[in-house]
Amino acid sequence: MTDPIDRAARLLAAARRPVLFTGAGVSTESGIPDFRSPGGVWDRFDPRELTYQHFVGTEAGRRKYWEVGRQSYPLMRKAEPNAAHLAIAELHRLDRLDCCITQNVDNLHQRAGLPEAKVIELHGNATRARCLDCGQPYSRDEVQGWLDSGVEIPRCPACGGVVKPHTILFGEPMPAPATQEAERRARASDVFVVVGSSLVVYPAAYMPAHAKHAGATLVIVNLSPTPYDGQADLLIPARAGEVMDAIVQRLRSLV
């Protein structure tokens, strides 16, 4: 029986346009809680209070969102890239990565050394914010300073408008340019590797389907089953960091 690590490495070595797709299972290995897992955000807060409509439509919604953000952002900010992030950055250095499509908002792919141009963020980036009225950009660190100083609902210093993080809230449309580019890259890929995603959050979870239907070889690395397991050409039910590090170590001897 073929070793799955060796098979995955050989697929990546031979690929012309390998694409990776990462989810919360990569972030959790850096200590960032998954929203849906026990102990995650939805165990402590009602998700109905954190929708896009509630945020843009009511001061109470913005106050609740920033209350959650003030508590959760420091945990994300102190997180460090793990073995999966570092391995994916190494794939880029080995010229074995067309792009990384990610559902994660923690900026850890970039901090691991993956160029900004190689990362397609379907759900935004939590380290950035902007005014919805005038478009003025702010770093999330700057906004955190306002919250820590006692501000409950950040307003834009430039125009007084609503400040919102660069993350996609429930009920908010996904960013069209990123979504369209991710779909294009998925369809153009010849090897599509899912790492640490349960593939249940749509429309992001359509990406492996786009790749598979266009003829790509589908590899899924995830601890728990996914709805796409039956379509996968290779399943590796294990931790993202361990698997990706092992794949890259094997790959170095092939390229």
* Residues annotated catalytic, as ranges: 123
From 219, 217, 223, 218, select the one nearest 242 (Cα to Cα): 223
Instruction: Identify the burial level of 80 via C-beta atoms within 10 angstroms of its C-beta, where 0-12 means exposed, 13-18 middle and 19 or more buried.
Output: exposed
Residue 234, helix vs strand vs coil: strand
Residue type, 141: D
Distance between first and last Cα of the chain:
23
Q: What residues contact 236, with CB distance under 8 A and at least 6 apart?
A: 4, 5, 8, 219, 220, 221, 243
Q: At what angle do helices 240-252 and 4-14 cross, to 10 degrees?
A: 60
Structure token digits, residue 243: 């698997």
Residue 70 exposed, middle or buried by CB count within 10 Å (0-12, 13-18, 19+)? middle
> Which residue type does 217 have?
T
135: left (phi over 0), alpha (psi -120 to 50) or beta: left
